[in-house]
């Protein structure tokens, strides 16, 4: 009997295999797309993984900047507590000297009484080692002259004040030690993040490292530090146009201040100091005169104008009057991110001067380089 089986054409089996493989690949891609749409990849700590080494470095720099501002705040508190402790300890030393002198005077009085017929029981109690309990004994107080009683009350008051100040000094010393530990902790956090960022950058292949460097430079419009130093007087950075022009415009239709002149003489002086710092290096925890972090630069600049502003970007956000971006003038402080962890100084026409990040130098950047939290006029 003849067979009804069909003879397969050459190559048809291979085509079927290819079709099956293609279908499997499409299904796998669809599954991966579904996973990616549902959730970002995570690192072992449970945080979303950065999309590239450059993204991770940028994230580490941002985290280091937040830790730097916490370090600055803790350092400021430590210095304040140290000054307070020194003042209290000075008062305690002077108070102890005063008490000692009064005790010597009372001892002389007791010696005179002894030579004239015996020491008063009240004075004997006072000088025996626990004078604080003296006035609690009403029966003894009745045997003391009014002059002696007044002197003893002064001694007791001075001793009570001395005890209170010693207790205050002890409490401040505890806070001071806690603040020192906080400073050390934030310092370690900054150093750890910066070291991790350096390792990531150094591990990049040469081409990727060059691309990353170009990307970071693009935040400044491709300008190198000091590239604007040769602009004619009165010219706004990045434009080639003079002062008195109309407002600039940012993406999204936002406008920047139309005024190129600082609002006040002190703002002009601070702005001039910030411009003088162009090209100097970023260094976390530094506030000049040869290196700066972001809030260190703005504090240093206003100090040159004779104005004391707080050390941290968070505190600087509240160091003056808030103004909208459309009314910003040179010298105003531009604070960034929802946690106010970066600050710059407005330079006019949509530009700021700031100390950007480790490895960079003080420079101009666009005012909208980061999400703006607030603008403050000191």
- 191-199 contact pairs (CB < 8 A, 24+): 193/60, 193/61, 193/63, 193/64, 193/67, 194/60, 194/61, 194/64, 194/284, 194/358, 196/60, 197/56, 197/57, 197/60, 197/61, 197/64, 197/358
Most confident residue range from 20-29, 112-121, 151-160, 248-257: 151-160
Check residue 198 and give its pLDDT: 84
Q: Report pLDDT digits (tens) over 230-256.
A: 333 333 343 333 333 344 555 555 666
Round the average pLDDT of the chain to a whole number and report it: 74
Check residue 225 and give its pLDDT: 39
Instruction: Give phi and psi for 204, each to the nearest 5.
Output: -70, 140
Q: Report pLDDT digits (tens) over 268-286.
A: 999 999 999 999 999 999 9
Residues in a beta bridge with 365: 352
Identify which has the larger pLDDT, 20 or 68.
68
Identify which has the larger pLDDT, 55 or 3.
55
Please say if the pLDDT value at position 306 is more than 60: yes
**In the predicted model, what is the mean pLDDT of residues 323-337?**
95
Residues 267 and 32: their CA atoms lie apart, in Å, by 55
Q: At 7, is the pLDDT very low, low, confident or very high (cuts 50, 70, 90)?
A: very low
Please say if the pLDDT value at position 181 is more than 80: yes
Residues 6+ apart with CB under 8 A from 178: none
Q: Report pLDDT digits (tens) over 286-299.
A: 999 999 999 999 99
Q: Give the SS3 label for residue 333.
A: strand
> Rounded to the nearest 10 degrees, what angle do helices 53-115 and 294-304 cross at?
60
Nearest CA to 351 among 250, 269, 225, 279?
250
Measure Cα distances from 169 to 165, 174, 183, 223 in Å: 6, 9, 21, 53
Check residue 372 and give its pLDDT: 96
Lowest mean pLDDT among 98-102, 133-137, 177-181, 348-352: 133-137
Count of alpha carbons within 13 angstroms of residue 200, beta-carbon side: 19
Yes or no: say if 106 and 123 are a contact pair by the CB < 8 Å rule. Answer: yes
Concatenating the DSSP letter of every residue in 136-187 gives: G-HHHHTTS-HHHHHHHHHHHHHHHHHHHHHHHHHHHHHHHHHHHHHHHHHH
User: Could you check whether the bond before residue 181 is cis, i.e. omega within 30 degrees of 0?
Assistant: no
Per DSSP, 342 falls in state E
Identify which has the larger pLDDT, 274 or 31.
274
Q: Report pLDDT digits (tens) over 47-77.
A: 444 457 778 888 888 888 898 999 999 889 8
Sheet bearing 321-322, strands edge to edge = 321-322, 372-377, 333-336, 342-348, 351-354, 363-366
Per DSSP, 291 falls in state -
Q: How many CB atoms lie within 10 A of CB 1?
A: 3
Identify which has the larger pLDDT, 6 or 74.
74
Instruction: Give phi and psi for 240, each to the nearest 5.
Output: 80, 10
Residues in the chain: 378
Residues 352 and 363: their CA atoms lie apart, in Å, by 8
Check residue 158 and give its pLDDT: 83
Check residue 210 and give its pLDDT: 73
Check residue 11 and give its pLDDT: 47
Check residue 274 and give its pLDDT: 97
Concatenating the DSSP letter of every residue in 30-97 gives: HHHHHHHHH---B-TTSSBPPSSHHHHHHHHHHHHHHHHHHHHHHHHHHHHHHHHHHHHHHHHHHHHH
Q: Is the pTM of this model over 0.95?
A: no
Where in the sequence numbering do the catalytic residues fall?
A: 294, 342, 354
Residues 6+ apart with CB under 8 A from 328: 256, 257, 334, 346, 367, 375
Using a pLDDT cut of 90, give the percent of the chain over it. Answer: 30
Yes or no: say if 374 and 299 are a contact pair by the CB < 8 Å rule. Answer: no
Please say if the pLDDT value at position 197 is more than 80: yes
Q: At 309, is the pLDDT very low, low, confident or very high (cuts 50, 70, 90)?
A: very high
**In the predicted model, what is the mean pLDDT of residues 16-34?**
39
**In the predicted model, what is the mean pLDDT of residues 304-316?**
96
Identify which has the larger pLDDT, 360 or 3.
360
Lowest mean pLDDT among 40-44, 218-222, 268-272, 301-305: 40-44
């Amino acid at each position: 009997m003849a067979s009804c089986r069909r003879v397969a054409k050459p190559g048809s089996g291979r085509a079927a295999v290819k079709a099956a493989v293609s279908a499997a690949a499409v299904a796998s891609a669809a599954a991966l797309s579904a996973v990616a749409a549902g959730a970002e990849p995570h690192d072992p700590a449970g945080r979303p993984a950065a999309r590239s080494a450059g993204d991770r470095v940028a994230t580490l720099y941002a985290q280091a900047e937040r830790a730097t501002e916490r370090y600055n705040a803790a350092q400021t508190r430590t210095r304040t507590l140290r000054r307070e402790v020194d003042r209290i300890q000075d008062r305690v030393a002077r108070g102890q000297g005063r008490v000692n002198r009064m005790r010597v005077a009372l001892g002389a009085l007791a010696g005179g009484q002894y030579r004239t017929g015996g020491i008063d029981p009240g004075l004997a109690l006072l000088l025996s080692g626990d004078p604080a309990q003296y006035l609690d004994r009403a029966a003894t107080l009745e045997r003391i002259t009014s002059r002696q009683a007044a002197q003893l009350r002064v001694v007791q008051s001075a001793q009570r004040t001395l005890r209170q100040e010693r207790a205050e000094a002890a409490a401040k010393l505890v806070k001071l030690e806690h603040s020192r530990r906080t400073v050390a902790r934030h310092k370690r956090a900054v150093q750890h993040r910066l070291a991790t960022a350096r390792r990531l950058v150094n591990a990049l292949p040469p081409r990727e490292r060059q691309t990353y460097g170009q990307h970071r430079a693009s935040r400044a419009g491709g300008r190198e530090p000091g590239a604007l130093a040769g602009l004619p007087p009165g010219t706004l950075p990045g434009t080639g146009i003079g002062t008195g022009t109309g407002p600039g415009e940012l993406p999204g239709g936002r406008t920047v201040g139309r005024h190129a002149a600082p609002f006040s003489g002190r703002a002009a002086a601070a702005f001039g100091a910030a411009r003088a710092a162009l090209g100097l290096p970023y260094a976390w925890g530094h506030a000049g005169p040869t290196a700066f972090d972001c809030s260190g630069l703005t504090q240093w600049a206003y100090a040159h104008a004779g104005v004391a502003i707080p050390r941290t970007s968070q505190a600087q956000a509240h160091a003056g009057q808030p103004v909208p971006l459309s009314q910003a003038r040179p010298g105003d402080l531009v604070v960034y991110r929802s946690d106010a962890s970066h600050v710059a100084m407005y330079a006019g026409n949509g530009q700021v001067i700031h100390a950007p990040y480790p490895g960079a130098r003080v420079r101009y950047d666009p005012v909208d380089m980061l999400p703006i939290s607030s603008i403050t006029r000191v």
